Amino acid sequence: MSVPRETLPLQKPYAPVLTPFQIERAKLGERISGAAGNVRLIVLCAPAGFGKTTAMLQHSVRLRALGAPSAWLTLEASHNDVSHFVAQLGGVLDVPAPGVGDPQLDSGILGLIERRAATADTFTLFLDDFEVIHNSTVLQLIRQLVEHTPPGWQTVIGSRVVPDLRLGRMRARGELVEIGADQLRFSLDEVREFVIDQRKLDLSGGVIERLQKVTEGWATALWLASVSLESHQEPERFLTTFSGSDAAITEFLAEDVLDRQPEPLRDFLLRTSVLKQMKAELCDAVLEQTNSAEMLTQLSRGNLFLMSTDNLGNFRYHALFADFLRAQLRQRSPGIIPGLHLRASRWYEEQGRPVPAIEHALHANDEARVVRLLSTHAQKLLDSGRFRLLARWIGSLSSTLLDAHPRLRIAQAWAMIFTHRPQQARTLLNRLEAQREQTGEVWDEKVRTNALAMRAMLMMIADEPDAFRVATASHAQLEPRHGLPYSLLSNSLAYFYAGLRQYDTVRMLLASARRSHYEIGSTFSLVIAECLEGAISLCQGRLQDALARLRVATNQMSTDDTHRAERHALASVQFAEALYESGQPEQAEHLLNVYLPMIRLIALGDFEVRGFITLSRIAWRQGDHDRAFAVLGEMEYLGQQDNIGRLMICADLERARLELLRGDSKASAACLARAAEFDQHYMRPGEMVPLHDVESVATARLRLRLRGAQDATVLRDLLGELPIAIAQARQLQCHRFALHLSLFWIEALYRTGQIEEAKAHIADVLLAAAPQGIVQPFADEGPLIAWLALDWLRSRESTARQTPEMQTYAERLEAACIAAGAQLEGQALALSSDAVACTSHRSTGAYVAEGCITKREIDVLKLVAQGKSNVQIAEKLFVSENTVRTHMRNILSKLGASNRTEAVVLAKQQRLIA
């Protein structure tokens, strides 16, 4: 069954059309076309009217002539809505939605780029009017888009201001070409070609030179001057008073362009300026006339700043001209503006396009109409995840009016919850409930059920101790027919029950919720359900199933006409976690860099935890330890700011793990103490689910006991406790947790001198993990486990077992373990031997006073005694020469020897070797 298509249609954008009066900017074109090699970004930055769009269009035409694919997106203020931006970008890229089994990272912007890249080696994306973008999330998306496009791709940006895209780094790498106002100015030769060849004006050389001087090569000023010069008998006198300043241009537009038009055409220009997009039928409705098609044709022929946006009869005014017209309309006829917007709203409503209908109703200051439209369409907008749009619209209405419409207040509260304002939503809900009690108002069923679900959701978001009980009681009063509140609360309860390992209840809730998702067409709720299924698969150790499910969730977004970025974020962040687990950190990082900032817009703490922890671990894997801690600091800050306890707890739990990797058990214990204090406040047993199916206060305490142990007694206690815990975890189907506990057990075995047993057990764990492609836990638990995994990987037994699938797994495992420091084999072994008091060596019974000699160091000693060189020892033991040197340094230190010969003598005296 497929989710019903969104009923809020998306207009596909088109590139503007070149006018016949635009000259070919040959030198400028050579500069742009010659930006090959490793150039990723071309930025044309200059004030309005300097010909940025024309230069970009001409480059686009040249690309089409060469058969090179490209796409164009003219940015508008509405593109500061992340969802709208992602949707429009998907439209211009025009790539088919992938099938469920598509192996590509088919999620959001990166997925669209990858699928487009699969069809062409080169591609150029044009983003015009970039200065309208100020939303930090959209800017970050574009930064990621530019930085992660494949070789052969270029992004061309036109902007009035320097784009906030961290250009310094790209400039240093030679990946950026910048074209400013000086390069865009028309040269004297270009001015001559423009006025004589294109505009057919009979001007002397002196007049042309004067024209180039007073306009300073500004394309718009040249155009405006040429329009006026057509009717001037004394061009020299005209140019003595013409100025290229903004004020002069405004005055010129008013006196020499607008006022010179026939009154019907002037009136048409002014009144249609309220429209962002124009077509004849819309203009007829707004102006209450029937000749708009003729007017548009006349404007187009007269080159009066009218731009065609496609080949379907849609137009818009040049931005500078449109601003001027709207200012003139406000000055000359302010009283007619509301009526124009009102008629536009009615036309869009008749066309079934509620979004522009509501926008124009707002501009008309017709709150009654806005309320009526919102009452009709708010639920559909909620179902489709248009939370920020609803929050802006409803927030602009008067409080008195909204208080009389509880349904809109409920919609506003939902929008607040999912735009990361849960505290404001709680305040609003409290006020609504107080108002109902004071007035005795009886809420209808829709308001009542939404308020019921919302109260429970707010408690869960804040991690309140009684949230689970309240949510369960509230859910019992809801039915699938209640739509969005039922589906959202069902998903949330399913998450709780998943934490309690009651998977039958989880699947029952999700099955019922899915029916509601499908009936209301809520892909937002549906994706949350799919993400939960993926989380269960991760917990149960079924990584391949998790990857498949989360890929389906991102596909669900790709086939949804609205391309809601919030839902992309939910699916993609959890998909990134699964990719990281499978040893694909680069793909995971790409997704997180794009989508993790969006998670903050939705106020779903569990996804934030998964995303921030994964991003921190990727940074640690790359050796950027400062960044790893900084990511955790950001997560903690968000938790403090929004009073979400799990973010603060998980930040300290992960810090505790990283401090142990740095060898600082005291710092780890301090982090753990803070997490435990928060944990007691937020997470009461039986009332709240664990924050993470592996990381918890209990897990962190086990790890600290293991790594911080100062004597063998603690390790022997763990050797008794861990097998019981492993069995319990497996009984609960928590196989992911059982794997980590098994790694603890293996490390305890090794640290107590049971080397062969440790190796045997890690072989068993790896052979069980390989079919699922589980890689990263073996690296994340530190260099000792990573070395043991690498040792198994390079053993003859492992090599004999390899199949093509095993080969892929082996490559990812090796990369992860080396990144974890397993290549420093001697350091890992020294760490294990120095952590506890010396014990008898199991194979010889020998005891060394100054430190424990490991089995591998004894192997090295035996080969040294045979006269083998470091190279020969490395070949014999399947290790690097550097590793052998590390072993020798450890051996000399432990035995108190000054050279290899003395070390052999001392080893024989102490019966370490024969």
* pLDDT (tens digit per residue) in 183-221: 888 888 888 888 888 788 878 888 888 888 877 777 877
Strand partners, 179: 44
**Residue 840: both structure tokens together:** 């008898």
**Cα dihedral 353/359/365/366 (nearest 10):** 20
Backbone angles phi, psi at 364, to 5 degrees: -80, -5
Task: Answer yes or no: are the C-beta atoms of 525 and 489 closer than 8 Å.
Answer: no
**Residue 230: both structure tokens together:** 């057509």
Task: Answer yes or no: are the C-beta atoms of 531 and 550 closer than 8 Å.
Answer: yes
What's this model's pTM, rounded to 2 decimal places?
A: 0.64
C-alpha closest to that of 820 among 629, 625, 632, 634: 625
The CB density around residue 174, as the number of other CB atoms within 10 Å, is 11
* CB-based burial, 419-447: b 16+ in 10 Å, e otherwise: bbbbbebbebbeebeeebeeeeeebeebb
C-alpha 846/C-alpha 869 separation (Å) is 26
C-alpha 185/C-alpha 51 separation (Å) is 8
Backbone angles phi, psi at 350, to 5 degrees: -65, -30
pLDDT at 690: 44
Q: What is the DSSP string of 569-593?
A: HHHHHHHHHHHHHTT-HHHHHHHHH
Contacts of 467 (CB under 8 A, 6+ apart): 456, 459, 460, 687, 688
CA atoms within 13 A on the CB side of 116: 28
C-alpha 336/C-alpha 872 separation (Å) is 93
C-alpha 613/C-alpha 636 separation (Å) is 11
Contacts of 571 (CB under 8 A, 6+ apart): 107, 527, 530, 531, 550, 553, 554, 556, 557
C-alpha 478/C-alpha 513 separation (Å) is 11
pLDDT at 7: 39
C-alpha 260/C-alpha 243 separation (Å) is 19
CA atoms within 13 A on the CB side of 147: 18
Task: Answer yes or no: are the C-beta atoms of 422 and 416 closer than 8 Å.
Answer: yes
**Residue 49: both structure tokens together:** 């009217």
Task: Answer yes or no: are the C-beta atoms of 591 and 145 closer than 8 Å.
Answer: no
C-alpha 764/C-alpha 773 separation (Å) is 14
- The DSSP 8-state label assigned to residue 42 in this structure reads E
C-alpha 166/C-alpha 31 separation (Å) is 22
pLDDT at 173: 80
Question: Which ranges in 440-542 belong to alpha helices (H)?
Answer: 445-461, 467-475, 484-499, 503-520, 523-539
pLDDT at 366: 94
Residue labelled with tokens 């019966």: 911
The pLDDT > 70 percentage for the chain reads 84
Backbone angles phi, psi at 124, to 5 degrees: -125, 125
C-alpha closest to that of 391 among 372, 419, 367: 419
Residue 895: is it exposed, middle or buried by C-beta count within 10 angstroms (0-12/13-18/19+)? buried
Q: Please report which helix (H) or strand (E) contains residue 155, including its range.
A: strand 153-159
* CB-based burial, 585-614: b 16+ in 10 Å, e otherwise: bebbbbbbbbbbbbbbbbbbbbbbbbbbbb
pLDDT at 798: 58
C-alpha closest to that of 582 among 774, 763, 390, 435: 774
**Residue 236: both structure tokens together:** 């020299």
C-alpha closest to that of 90 among 12, 149, 38: 12
Secondary structure of residue 278 in the 3-state scheme: strand
Inter-CA distances, 418 with 241, 488, 535, 731, Å: 56, 12, 21, 37
Measure the N-to-C terminal CA separation of the chain; round to a whole number of Å: 73
C-alpha 832/C-alpha 436 separation (Å) is 66
Q: Strand locations in 798-894, DSSP E?
A: none
Residue labelled with tokens 């505790």: 656
Task: Answer yes or no: are the C-beta atoms of 607 and 573 closer than 8 Å.
Answer: yes
pLDDT at 568: 67
Q: Please report which helix (H) or strand (E) contains residue 175, including its range.
A: none
Contacts of 625 (CB under 8 A, 6+ apart): 619, 658, 662
Secondary structure of 849-865 in the HEC alphabet? CCCCCCHHHHHHHHHHH
Q: What is the CA radius of gyration of the chain?
A: 34
pLDDT at 879: 67
Contacts of 213 (CB under 8 A, 6+ apart): none
Residue labelled with tokens 């187009």: 300
Task: Answer yes or no: are the C-beta atoms of 269 and 333 closer than 8 Å.
Answer: no
> What letter represents residue 265's amino acid?
L
Pairing of strands 123-128, 70-74: parallel
Using 70 as the pLDDT threshold, list the residues of the chain that sit under it.
Answer: 1-15, 19-21, 94-120, 231, 241-249, 252, 256, 303, 319-320, 517, 521-525, 555-568, 600-604, 679-692, 796-802, 822-852, 878-880, 882
The number of helices, as runs of H, and strands, as runs of E, in the chain is 48, 7
pLDDT at 224: 74
C-alpha 294/C-alpha 290 separation (Å) is 9
C-alpha 280/C-alpha 294 separation (Å) is 8
Backbone angles phi, psi at 134, to 5 degrees: -130, -10
Q: Please report which helix (H) or strand (E) contains residue 128, including its range.
A: strand 123-128
Residues recorded for the chain: 914
C-alpha closest to that of 895 among 909, 884, 882, 881: 909
C-alpha 402/C-alpha 300 separation (Å) is 44
**Cα dihedral 687/692/696/702 (nearest 10):** 130
Secondary structure of residue 465 in the 3-state scheme: coil
| Residue 527, phi-psi category: left (phi > 0), alpha (psi -120 to 50), beta (remainder) | alpha
pLDDT at 820: 83
> What letter represents residue 324's amino acid?
F
Residue 753: is it exposed, middle or buried by C-beta count within 10 angstroms (0-12/13-18/19+)? buried
pLDDT at 746: 95
CA atoms within 13 A on the CB side of 283: 25
> What letter represents residue 73's amino acid?
L
pLDDT at 910: 78
